Amino acid sequence: MSSPLRVGLVGYGVGGAIFHAPLIAAHPPLRLAAVVTANPERQQQVRAEHPETEVVDDMNALLGRELDLVVVASPNRTHVELATAALDAGLPVVVDKPFTPTSIEGRQLIEHAAAKGQLLTVFQNRRWDNDMRTVRKLLDDGELGRVYRFESRFERWSPTPKPTWRDSGGAEDAAGVLYDLGSHLIDQARQLFGPVAAVYAEIDCRRAGVRSDDDSFIALTHVNGVRSHLWMSKVAAQQGPRFRVLGEAAAFTKYGFDPQEAELRAGHRPIDDTWGREPQELWGALGVGDEVRRVPSEAGNYLAFYDGVVAALRDGAPPPVDPADAVATLDVIAAARRSAAEITVDRLL
């Protein structure tokens, strides 16, 4: 068997500590070789959670190690700089979402990776959420008929802002729920229903003292005529359905979040076939009016992203997420910001 691919992880905040490090450590073809963090408390956390992993203070120290892959999970504003440094060192790169602050920077980074002959992909892990996979299967099986409207929500209750860049940062930091949660919702909508022709948005800062949006709505008109209505909020004291899909034959409604994030936060790891599964009482409902049946949720599988990374590096397979998809999402985010500022519909096509 081939030796595990040595991975350097940049950043040990939520993205690095909760998602990337556990998934890399749980994946036999990968080895978490080193983590970059200058924060003493996070350094201690790495040593406690991954005792065989080296901890370094900065990117230069990381790039001095023998590595096969770099994962950039640092604050959003640093993605371009750090991904470029890794590519310049001759290393393939995974970048956490949002890919870059602007689509111009995203396109430039893609061109740079191509010039260096290196893999570049984006961690859009919500493509492998259980509810997303369930909707995909319903569409593929024709259970809904032609879809008219797709509703999707990431709503949370966090009425007190936190003293971090995610709440206090501005557009230059790619902060706020439109970048954070919207990057997932837009990507999912585009994966299910294709390119976007027009965007209408309402983007608000509801909590006192925040600079970044914390309560936003986007309406997308896809080229094929489907309309996607996407909500993202940190001030939702009651949450709406995670998904509601309205079709000519039936509708599907699903409450609750994919269980994988909660499992990772609790310290659990994807080591057997119970991972990503949820109990029957959380399954979504498919049907018309009161005539509905519960649909078993597909298992969520974030490890599939890193399966794709390994296949791309070892077998030359396509990347698990085309970075051009992430650029298209950034185009939608930019259109949403223009729409909200001008109180109009922004046309992309």
For residue 166, pLDDT beyond 60: yes
Residue 153 near residue 196, CB atoms below 8 Å: no
| The pLDDT value given to residue 272 | 82
SS3 70: strand
**What CA–CA distance (Å, rounded) separates 87 from 109?**
9
What mean pLDDT comes out for the span 148-169? 91
Burial 254-284 (b: 16+ CB within 10 A, else e): bbbbbbbbebbeeeeebeeeebbebeeebbb
Q: Facing residues of 217 across strands? A: 202, 231
Structure-token match 């599907």, residue found: 252
| Residues 260-287 pLDDT 10s | 999 999 999 998 888 999 999 999 999 9
For residue 220, pLDDT beyond 60: yes
Burial 71-103 (b: 16+ CB within 10 A, else e): bbbbbbbbbbebbbbbbebebbbbbbbbbbbbb
Query: Which pTM does this prediction carry?
Result: 0.95
| Residues 7-55 pLDDT 10s | 999 999 999 999 999 999 999 999 999 999 999 999 999 999 999 999 9
Per-residue confidence band for 62, with pLDDT thresholds at 50, 70 and 90: very high
| The pLDDT value given to residue 33 | 98
For residue 176, pLDDT beyond 80: yes
> Structural domains in the chain?
5-123 (3.40.50.720), 128-301+331-347 (3.30.360.10)
What mean pLDDT comes out for the span 66-90? 97
Per-residue confidence band for 1, with pLDDT thresholds at 50, 70 and 90: low
Which regions of the chain does DSSP assign to beta strands (E)? 5-10, 30-36, 54-56, 69-72, 93-96, 120-123, 147-155, 196-204, 215-222, 227-233, 243-247, 251-254, 284-288, 291-295, 346-347
For residue 167, pLDDT beyond 90: no
Contacts of 192 (CB under 8 A, 6+ apart): 135, 136, 139, 150
| CB atoms closer than 10 angstroms to residue 3 | 8
Give the CB-side neighbour count of residue 129, counting CA atoms within 13 A.
Answer: 23
Rounded CA Rg of the chain:
20
For residue 155, pLDDT beyond 60: yes
| The pLDDT value given to residue 169 | 80
**What CA–CA distance (Å, rounded) separates 81 from 256?**
36
- Sheet containing 215-222: give its strands across: 291-295, 284-288, 251-254, 243-247, 147-155, 227-233, 215-222, 196-204, 346-347
Per-residue confidence band for 191, with pLDDT thresholds at 50, 70 and 90: very high
User: What percent of the chain is modeled with pLDDT above 90?
Assistant: 91
| Residues 224-265 pLDDT 10s | 999 999 999 999 999 999 999 999 999 999 999 999 999 999
| The pLDDT value given to residue 258 | 95
SS3 205: coil
| The pLDDT value given to residue 221 | 98
For residue 343, pLDDT beyond 60: yes
**What CA–CA distance (Å, rounded) separates 162 from 177?**
13
Contacts of 34 (CB under 8 A, 6+ apart): 8, 9, 53, 54, 55, 56, 62, 65, 67
Q: In whole angstroms, what separates CA 9 from the centre of its chain?
A: 17
For residue 171, pLDDT beyond 80: no
Structure-token match 């200058």, residue found: 38
Largest CA distance in the chain: 62
For residue 74, pLDDT beyond 60: yes
| Residues 94-139 pLDDT 10s | 999 999 999 999 999 999 999 999 999 999 999 999 999 999 999 9
| Residues 306-334 pLDDT 10s | 999 999 999 999 999 999 999 999 999 99
Give the CB-side neighbour count of residue 296, counting CA atoms within 13 A.
Answer: 4
| The pLDDT value given to residue 29 | 96
